Structure 1
Amino acid sequence: MHMKVQNVMTTDVASVEQDTPFKDIAELLIAREVSAVPVVDAGRRVVGVVSEADLLRKEEFRDQFYREGYRPPLRARLRDRLAGHAGHAEARGEVAADLMSTPAHTVGPGTTVVTAARLMDEHGVKRLPVTDDEGGLVGIVSRRDLLKVFVRGDEDISREVRDDVLTHSLWIETSDVKVATCRGVVTLSGHLRLRSEARLAARMVRRVNGVVDVVDEIGYDEDDTPRWQAS
């Protein structure tokens, strides 16, 4: 439960320094097949992020490719610019410090994947550098990494629900509760003494990594729910 960024992040991180030229940044993005890289200082502390969009934000390049609504893939545009415009970029001295977006939005290794996903959505980014307490780069987490949480096998999910949630996390007798998982949807059936216990079990199962939804079919002997909560 509550899987952390450190469980899914990539530790082999492509990064650049503040004085890395435009051409070297573009070639790195193409070679590593990534859309952005962190920019670090001499102490490997993250000071910004430079993306494909940052490299292509120059007015003359936008005019060249956006006429008549034509929008080729970013990486293809980078290759074209390297072929025909790299000399101009180098002449202007474009380096990472001039091109990067700053401050960088980062997360720590202990951040939950849910929090990381919310930060990506809030800031409109596809990946977040992962930093230690001193701001040093230790990894990077992408949207694709976060999706790993939801591709767990059904049996693996059922096992965690039975062993961690029902057996160890709930201080109640749950031996009559049955668990079945299909494509991430967990169905709970069987019997508990109180309705509040059945509700609690369903809520905790929803927090298990990889659970898409919970179907609560647990019966109970006594409805101990206050009237204002009964619906």
Structure 2
Amino acid sequence: MDKLLFATLDGTLQINSVTRDKKLFKFDGAVALPKNDEDLIVCGTVYNTTDINFATLIMPAILNVTAGIIFNVKPVLHIHDAQLRANGDDADVDINPPNIHGVMQVISKDIKVKSYKCKARAYDRESGNKIDSTFFLWRGREQFKNGPWADDGTYMAFVGHLLSQEPVSSAITIDLLDSAWTTAPPPSPSTSASATGSPNRLKRRRIQAVTNNADAGPSSSSSTNALSSSTRTT
């Protein structure tokens, strides 16, 4: 289940600069936050596409993107898909806070401040590694009033809006819109065979073959497996 962790950003991105790094383009940019027209400064990578030539973009460029996100002091976006909305002098367009969705694991919860601390994961193209990062989910909307809370360690699917970044800790908070999770059932009693991981086998009655040859040594008797019962004869 731990392999399912991911977080994806969908929304509008402003790119302010681009540099080429082999097959990748690295960029610096910003996404919108809902409070006081604030921006969240981001960086990341993108492959060139047939629709957008990142080497010839006129800055600032406005794109609609789908990207994996690594939560950090400066969040890292690895763009999966992009559509150009405007660039250069045409870039005077409305930019709304992006949506973020994925599967995260609950690290802890603070019911008093209506918040989960969560762990997510994304693939980092530069290092070639999957990176774990933490963020906060704020569940203060009316639809969550008197609703159940997920237990610590629970894996939860979620969708929400990017909300804020704390000025001191740089922690990112997402305004939770919806979520779903399952509670793992308690482990069922298991037999010694299943507990040790032994495969289930057909139950067979072991039959001892008997010979009347008094001179026969130990090699003249053998044990065999049979699916049906048998009668010992002498």
TM-score between both structures, scaled by the size of structure 1: 0.25
Bigger relative contact order (CA 8 A; separation at least 6): 1
Question: What is the TM-score when the length of structure 2 is the normalising length?
Answer: 0.25
Structure with more of its chain in strand, by fraction? 2
Query: Quick check: which one's helix share is greater?
Result: 1
